[in-house]
Amino acid sequence: MIPGFVETHIHLDKSCILERCGPQQGTLEAAIAAVAAAKRAFTEPDIYARAQRTLEKAIVQGTTRMRTHVEVDPRVGLRSFEAVRALARDYAWAIDLEICVFPQEGLTNDPGTEELLVEACTRGADVIGGCPYTDSDPFTQIARIFAIAQRFDLDIDLHLDFDLDPSWMHLEEVCRQTQAHRWGGRVAIGHVTKLSAIAPASVATIARRLADAGVAVTVLPATDLFLMGRAHEHHVPRGVAPVHRLVRHGVTCSLATNNVLNPFTPFGDCSLIRMANLYANVAHLGAMADLSSCLDLVTTLPARLMNLADYGIAVGHPADLVVLDSRDRALAVAELAQPLAGFKRGRRSFTRAPAVLHRPG
């Protein structure tokens, strides 16, 4: 029994659009461009229906808490935000869904975007996000996001350092601003794939910096494996940040799904036990203790990242319970143990029948 999986980083609003995006080049830039074109035609009922399909998959995979990133800009306006907000209300019986609004295509270079983000925060967005790598002025974007966070008293969750060039990073500026604003423990950064291109001794130094500043890290193995290393035709780098090394230095970390059935990641069953297994496989983790800690990366650690004070099986907490078909934490990751049933605040929210063998005779 676990208190449910915790998904810190998923894009419900742009899930399930694979069929309308055409053939894919497989690069980050092409994925952003394809979705930028597609989202102009998004309507609230269309966004709701696709997000609902993805959210229901996550629920039956045992996820009880979720933070979804939602794009806000002059092309899509607040349609995605409003559709996902309605979805969060309609599925509150099964999952706690937190909305992080963010400017996927840049902030300072995209007039009107900041006003829309502020309007979303006024209407009740839970978290403010960012994407400095698509901005013509990344440091100013980071500063503007911190200003919005302070104004509305929100946690911050940024897409950051999403390539394999270790010669420059935005990570240090985020740590600096986190400390300057005394926002430690309230800032997360996602992807940070550059860390996969840096030697362990330097990663250790960066990890201590992150831990000191109170900046958490989310790694998105499916997307990072799919989009990174495209310049290589053989001996392809994996491009997944070594999150288990960061954890050893006290960094709060999570593994998350990110994208489902779109040009960023044309896969997705929303299973976080699969993500834990995928990470263990990619990171060469095989010892029982290491496999067990991969379960922490989709349960207790992401709950800490999201500052969920009432997560965990304990007196006084809501009875969020998920039954995994396993007798051991490490084996659950090794065997991709499937959830058999889930309860949200004490009420049964889903069941999955175990497979049955039909022997002859």
* Shortest separation between residue 9's beta carbon and Zn ion, angstroms: 6
Q: Distance between CA atoms of 343 and 325, rounded to whole angstroms?
A: 15
Q: Which is nearer to Zn ion, 206 or 220 (CB)?
A: 220
Write down the least CB distance from residue 110 to Zn ion, Å: 17
In the stretch 248-287, what mask flags binding to Zn ion with x, by CB under 5 A? ----------x-----------------------------
Nearer to Zn ion, 8 or 326 (CB): 8
**Nearest to Zn ion of 193, 258 (CB atom):** 258
Answer for the pair 219, 191: CB distance below 8 angstroms, yes or no. yes
Give the nearest distance from C-beta 56 to Zn ion in angstroms.
20
Angle subtended by helix axes 113-122 and 138-152, to nearest 10: 20
Residue 13 or 320 with smaller CB distance to Zn ion = 13
235 vs 257: CA distance, rounded Å? 25
- Judged by beta carbon, residue 258 or residue 277, the one nearer Zn ion is 258
CA 19 from chain centre, in angstroms, equals 23
Compare residues 15 and 349 and give the one whose CB is closer to Zn ion. Answer: 15
What is the closest distance, in whole angstroms, from the C-beta atom of residue 261 to Zn ion in the complex? 14
Separation in Å, CA 15 to CA 33, 45, 67, 276, 324: 15, 14, 14, 21, 26
Provide, rounded to whole angstroms, the least separation between the CB of residue 218 and Zn ion. 9
348 close to 321: Cβ distance less than 8 angstroms: no
Calpha distance 169→173 (Å, rounded)? 8
28 versus 211: smaller Cβ distance to Zn ion: 28
Minimum distance of Zn ion from residue 97's CB (angstroms): 16
CA atoms of 33 and 237, how far apart (whole Å): 24
Contact 310, 253 (CB under 8 A): no
CB atoms within 10 A of CB 69: 27
CB 171, min distance to Zn ion, A:
16
**Residue count, binding to Zn ion (CB under 5 A):** 1
Q: Which is nearer to Zn ion, 254 or 258 (CB)?
A: 258
Q: Which residues pair with 99 in a beta bridge?
A: 68
What residues have CB less than 8 Å from 212, skipping those under 6 apart?
Answer: 175
Q: Are 262 and 31 in contact (CB under 8 A)?
A: yes
CB of 256 to Zn ion, least distance (A): 8
Which has the closest alpha carbon to 137: 175, 165, 108?
108
Residues 289-348 close enough to bind Zn ion by CB under 5 A = none
- Name the token pair of 264: 């960023």
Beta bridge partners of 123: none
Residues within the interface to Zn ion (CB under 5 A): 258
